[in-house]
Structure 1
Amino acid sequence: MRGPLPLKWLAWGIALSLVALPIVGVLNGWFASQRWPVRKIELRAEYAHVSAEQIRATVETHLAKGFFAVQLADVQKAVAELPWVERVEARKQWPDTLRLTVYERQPFAHWGEKRLIDRSGEIFEVPGAETMQGLPQLSGPDERLAEVIAFHAECMREFAGSGLSVRAVDLSARGSWRLTLASGALIEIGRVDARHRLQRFLDVWPKLAAASNGPPVYVDLRYENGFAMRWALPEAPVSSPSPGPAPAGRA
């Protein structure tokens, strides 16, 4: 009495497979891949650096197949490889639409000569990065990026209200810190007790500023119990040419 049951279940399994296989095949683009083409691309993006034309041109190379054959992961990867693109979200909407949301990288600072740091703290490289204006200049070993960013943030807080503005932070391969001010002045901090020595200078700076005619051109904080400063030499006054002999009068 129990013999026919396995055959019955086997028959049901075969029948369900015959029904499901075409559906799975269509959904995965195994066949009928040229049917139901994608006709619309809807974009959501802030076009500060990447253009809609660039995105569309990149996406269209993946739309030769039909709606179900389009692989969203491939589309996202291709668009994400464009300069300035941080990440991409893609989804399909029946019957013929591909929707993309593109997030651009937001530059925070220069890193070295030709690279940038985005607001997520990641280094990236794009054409023309070195010409961008209005960004602080940070540099150091790549593996110490987070440390340089943190020290820059600390400097911005500590210098607030001092009348001095930090334009660049540099960490050498040997671990020595250097600041460049907006005035062009250099502050050598060194490797030892960097934060303590910088704070010691800022504590004294208000009195020094009151007695000087502007920021120094060089500050060396690499002393155990003090620091050295140098101001630009005053320009020599321009002397007016001495008048020559008076012309002789006519008789």
Structure 2
Amino acid sequence: MNAATAALPADIRLMNAVSALLVAALLAMAVWGVMRWVVRLPAFNLRAIQVEGDVTRNGTASLRANALPRLQGSFLSLNLKEGRAAFEAVPWVRHAQLQRVWPMTLRVNLEEHRAAAYWEARADGADAATESAMERGLVNTFGEVFQANLGDVEDEDLPTLAGPAHTAGVMLQMWRALAPAAERLGESIERLDLSGRGSWRATLASGAVIELGRGSEAEVGARFGEFARSITQVTAQYHSPLLSADLRHADGYAVRLRGVTIQTPGKPVNRKR
């Protein structure tokens, strides 16, 4: 500050400072306005959208119908975060990455969901055997629930997972843990239920229903593995297929075979092993 400026009264100095700020603000607004006008010029309109990655479920027509109407702005003004959301709103798209590529091209890399199971979400605390499904959808290989046309996977041999909301990931992990033991029986688990109380039930491809009980993945897996190793001896002995089994016994399990029953006076009971 020179001597002439210092000699000015305080109110004059304040007025000059305010004036300078106003001029700077007006200049900034003018520059901003010009920039907004420039980026909207037809010369900066998107000329091409280059799609890479997974496009098994979504072709050009699907992406054009579902994503393009959501894109707003030119090559320069397009909000990439909003553009990503537009593509991720397309059925079967799990993740999208967008990148501007000169000249006037938008490169989109897609990752699609890979369906691992059907999903039925049930009310928390409800009995999975009696409570009607609250939500239907699909579970991907990451254990995430997503919505898509179920008819797209009707030719795929997918199991059904049914349990309380937000348990799809845990249920898919349990299904994977139990699958090898089921394969040793020459079976597959077509349906896995988890009740609101934490009890597991497996339905095999043959229709047999296995009550697995509660416990961690390791506990339930060991229980089912021991059952798979020994049940074939029972079915071979009686030459009868398995209808159901209850593994919720501390010293063994109860089974029901087709055409084989044991009765105590006046009361039928399940065969135990």
Say yes or no: TM over 0.5.
yes
Q: CA deviation at 1:150?
A: 2.3
Work out the CA distance in 2 between the residues paired with 1:52 and 1:92.
19
- Provide TM-score, normalisation by structure 1: 0.74
Q: CA deviation at 1:168?
A: 1.6
2:106 aligned residue (74, 79, 98):
98
Alignment-derived partner of residue 144 in structure 2: 122
Q: 1:205 to 1:58 in 2, by over 3 A?
A: closer
Work out the CA distance in 2 between the residues paired with 1:123 and 1:44.
24
Q: CA deviation at 1:130?
A: 9.2
Work out the CA distance in 1 between the residues paired with 2:191 and 2:80.
42
Are 2:71 and 2:86, in contact at CA under 8 Å, matched by a contact in 1?
no
1:202 aligned residue (212, 228, 238):
228
Alignment-derived partner of residue 229 in structure 1: 255
Q: 1:2 to 1:59 in 2, by over 3 A?
A: farther
Alignment of 1:1-251 (within 5 A): 22=31, 26=35, 30-32=36-38, 33-36=40-43, 37-61=45-69, 65-112=73-120, 114-128=136-150, 132=154, 133-191=156-214, 194-213=220-239, 215-233=241-259
Are 2:191 and 2:204, in contact at CA under 8 Å, matched by a contact in 1?
yes
Q: CA deviation at 1:98?
A: 1.4
State the SS of the aligned residue for 1:173.
coil
For residues 150-190 of structure 1, the C-alpha deviation after alignment (integer angstroms, 9 at most, x for no partner) is 22111112333232322221111121111111101111122
Structure of higher CA gyration radius: 1
User: Structure 2 counterpart of 1:34, which letter?
Assistant: L
Stretches of structure 1 lacking an aligned partner (at least 5 in a row): 5-10, 235-251
Backbone CA RMSD of aligned residues:
3.3
- Provide TM-score, normalisation by structure 2: 0.69
Q: 1:3 to 1:95 in 2, by over 3 A?
A: farther
Work out the CA distance in 2 between the residues paired with 1:63 and 1:146.
32
State the SS of the aligned residue for 1:207.
helix
State the SS of the aligned residue for 2:184.
coil
